């Protein structure tokens, strides 16, 4: 009996860690409750969104890598630069046909393109190849 409990201990630790890592707040004001904005809306409201540091949720596709951490993100209303740090990239590979839901902060400078600094990926829908 002692031996079987010892061998099961790592299993229970693993299950506890996995369940803890997946839990998140889903009440009022949570990231899960953000409304999806279009790229056009983000660009039109960029100055205010940048000033208030409000998070935005976008759904669409990363269509091109511009440099090490900058990509073009597109939806049906347009495209915007997104900055994704390497450690914020999703665990699963994705391509330009993979539909993504991203959360980020808007960076607006008068002399540069609007950019969304991605903080996390909420959903990744695999492409149908």
For the segment 37-89, what is each residue's pLDDT rounded down to a tens digit? Answer: 999 999 999 999 999 999 999 999 999 999 999 999 999 999 999 999 999 99
| Residue 106 resides in a domain | yes
Residue 4 domain-assigned (yes or no): no
Residues 6+ apart with CB under 8 A from 64: 71, 72, 96
| pTM given for the model | 0.75
Confirm whether 6 is domain-assigned.
no
CATH of the domain at 59: 2.40.50.200
The string of pLDDT tens digits covering residues 78-95 is 999 999 999 999 888 999
Higher pLDDT among residues 5 and 128, named by residue: 128
The answer to the question of residue 77 being in a domain is yes
- Answer yes or no: is 90 within a domain: yes
* Average pLDDT over all residues of the chain: 84
List the domain range (segments joined by +) for residue 64.
Answer: 27-125
What pLDDT, on a 0 to 100 scale, did the predictor assign at position 12? 47
Q: Strands, E, within the chain: which ranges?
A: 36-37, 55-65, 70-75, 78-83, 99-107, 115-125
Please check whether residue 79 is in contact with residue 39, taking contact to mean a CB–CB distance below 8 angstroms.
Answer: yes
Total domains, the chain = 1
Within a domain: 45: yes
Asked if the structure places residue 8 within a domain, the reply is no
Any domain includes 91: yes
């Amino acid at each position: 009996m002692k031996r079987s409990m010892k061998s099961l201990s790592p299993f229970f630790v693993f299950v506890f860690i996995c369940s803890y890592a997946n839990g998140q707040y889903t009440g009022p004001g949570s990231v899960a409750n953000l409304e999806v904005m279009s790229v056009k809306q983000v660009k039109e409201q960029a100055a205010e969104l940048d000033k208030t540091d409000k998070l935005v949720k976008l759904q669409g596709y990363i269509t091109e890598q511009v440099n090490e951490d900058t990509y073009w993100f597109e939806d049906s209303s347009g495209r915007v630069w997104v900055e994704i740090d390497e450690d914020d990239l999703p665990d699963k590979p994705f391509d330009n046909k993979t539909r993504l839901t991203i959360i980020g902060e808007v960076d607006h400078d008068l002399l540069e393109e609007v950019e969304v600094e991605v903080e996390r990926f909420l959903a990744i829908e695999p492409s149908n190849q």
